[in-house]
Amino acid sequence: MSAILELPIVNSPAMWIIYLVAVALTITLLVRDPDPKWFVRASIGAVAGALLGMGIYFAGNLLDLFGVNLPLMVGVWATAMFAGVGLAIASFPDAKPWRKIVASVAILAYLLAGATGINAFYGLNPTLGSVFGVVEEDQITLPEYNPDNRAAPTQPLAATWQAPDDMPSVGERGSAPIPGTESGFVARDAGIYLPPAALVENAPALPVVIMMMGYVGNPDPTIISDVLDQFAADHNGLAPIVVVADQLGGAGDVDPACADSAKYGNAETYVTTDVVNWVNANLNVIQDPKYWTVAGYSNGGGCAAKYAAKDPGTFKNIISVSGEQYPGSETPDAVTTDIYGGDTAAFEASKPITIFNAAPAGTYAGMTAIFTAGSEDPDFVSMATTLSNATQALGIATTLFIVQGADHGGDAVSGGLTEGFNVLYPVLGLSTGT
């Protein structure tokens, strides 16, 4: 089962096999003795299914059911998927037993092919398991280190580091449980990325990134580790250590709005205390907030902005990729009720811009912030622009970057992270440029 769940399904042989199976089953359903009654029934079923798929797509955008404007390609996949399901359902009446079995299998195949196609378009879930919220990363072995050698370097690490000949060409990624010791929050295992420079004997202490993904989503380190492997290849094996923390908890199907609450648990304390403490106790990272970055995508981007605003003594750097302007921006009424007990003032006080503007002068000295969004994702472009304007007005070194041609999917994440680390590498001492 584990091997099946770990099958790569984005631009992979498995993806094409899934599509071919769906096509083969369609041909099997269609090839049969001429029967006008069946033809009419099948046509009605396929058209009804297609209309249902189109209806879900248009209603989703019209009523904002999914929190973002769904691209046209999602509508195409939904239409095709439900048309196939309609065809399969219409194939049951008066059919031989083996055809009923084929039709039953076809329904599952169409749903899987549709989910795979939409997922491949967005590029956020790289494995079959992650499509269904099941991420099975191998438990990672954390290297031993000297806890007394984690002070901030006096020179940029890039200027003093010499990679040994036996350094791996790429980093390692896996998972690790991070208990909710202080928060009591029940989280899924965190994704971990160790760059090549962290995998050698007498490895240097490195910067660290605490990353959070979107809702609904998984603490999957694939995208950020792929981005940083490329940076490491270009910078002598140097890259930050990454912890992709689970800010959602449970099965990842609820949104705690980056806050502590009686309903969803202490998500904020989990990330800002339990995860931070675990990083300090278990990873060879530099003990200086200048080298600590809080990052996030979508829901996680809203969390990142909030946590950096509240705790610049821990995080001096922010990367918000297609991030919410504030946690709960998609469902403010529900968040006000469920998280803040109906207290609108408390909800307002939790917003990053409110926190930034209320801080004393000088609070954010030395902070660097990067806000990005895809050019085809106008709502999140607007939110990124609003946040970047607010932080820039406070004197924070701010970058606003629009990923051309990207929407709210994988291209926006990889493109946004790439720009984020282009900005941060010299700040973190991982390159000697300015």
Q: What is the DSSP string of 335-370?
A: HHHHTTTT-HHHHHHTSHHHHHHHSPTTTTTT-EEE
3-class DSSP state of 211: strand
Percent of the chain scored above 70 by pLDDT?
A: 95
Instruction: Evaluate if residue 136 carries a pLDDT over 60.
Output: no
Task: Say yes or no to pLDDT of 124 above 90.
Answer: no
Asked if the model's pLDDT at residue 69 lies above 50, the reply is yes
pLDDT in the model for residue 1? 47
Q: What is the pLDDT of residue 184?
A: 97
Question: Quick check: 205 and 147 in contact, CB under 8 A?
Answer: no
- Sequence-distant (6+) residues with CB within 8 A of 294 are 209, 210, 303, 304, 307, 308, 314, 315, 317, 318, 319
For 247-316, strand residue ranges (E) read: 260-261, 265-266, 292-297
Residue 430 is encoded by which pair of tokens?
């991982």
Residue 216: predicted pLDDT: 80
The burial class, CB within 10 Å (0-12 / 13-18 / 19+), for 318 is buried
pLDDT > 60? residue 273 = yes
Amino acid symbol at 136: E
Provide the edge-to-edge strand list for the sheet that holds 317-321.
Answer: 172-176, 190-194, 241-245, 208-212, 292-297, 317-321, 368-374, 397-403
What type of residue sits at position 64?
A: D
pLDDT at 137: 62
The residues facing 370 across adjacent strands are: 319, 399
State pTM to two decimals: 0.84
Residue 432: what residue type?
A: T
- Burial environment of residue 40 by CB neighbours within 10 A (0 to 12, 13 to 18, 19 or more): exposed
Query: Can you tell me the distance from the alpha carbon of 421 to that of 415, in angstroms, rounded to the nearest whole number?
Result: 10
Q: Which amino acid is at 178?
A: I
Q: Where are the domains of the chain?
A: 2-122, 142-427
Where is 97: in which H helix or E strand?
helix 97-122
- Least confident span in 3-7, 171-175, 192-196: 3-7
- The domain 142-427 is classified under which CATH number: 3.40.50.1820, 3.60.15.10, 3.40.50.300, 3.40.50.2300? 3.40.50.1820
Instruction: Kindly report the length of the chain.
Output: 434
- Cα(40)–Cα(429) distance, integer angstroms: 68
**Residue 131: pLDDT above 70?**
no
Using an 8 Å Cβ cutoff, are 290 and 263 in contact?
Answer: no
Q: Which residues are CB-neighbours of 154 under 8 A, at least 6 positions away?
A: none
pLDDT at 9: 73
* Bridge partner list, 261: 265
**In 3D, which of 227, 157, 289, 212 has the Cα closest to residue 421?**
227
Mean pLDDT of 34-41: 87
Question: Is pLDDT at 356 greater than 90 in this prediction?
Answer: yes
User: CB 21: neighbour CB atoms within 10 A?
Assistant: 17
Element (DSSP H or E) covering residue 174:
strand 172-176
Residue 362's Cα: distance from chain center in Å?
32
Q: What is the mean pLDDT of residues 176-180?
A: 97
Identify residue 70 by its one-letter amino acid code. L
Confidence of residue 2 (pLDDT cuts 50, 70, 90): low
Pairwise CA distance, residues 36 & 49, whole Å: 20
- The confidence band for 251, taking pLDDT boundaries of 50, 70 and 90, is confident
Of 403, 333, 397, whose CA–CA distance to 368 is shortest? 397
Q: Which residue has the higher pLDDT, 15 or 358?
A: 358
Average pLDDT value over all residues in the chain: 92
Long-range contacts of 130-136 (CB under 8 A, 24+ apart): 130/218, 130/220, 131/9, 133/216, 133/218, 133/251, 133/252, 133/253, 134/5, 135/175, 135/188, 135/191, 135/218, 135/219, 135/220, 136/2, 136/5, 136/6
Mean pLDDT of 367-389: 96
Q: pLDDT at residue 141 above 70? A: yes
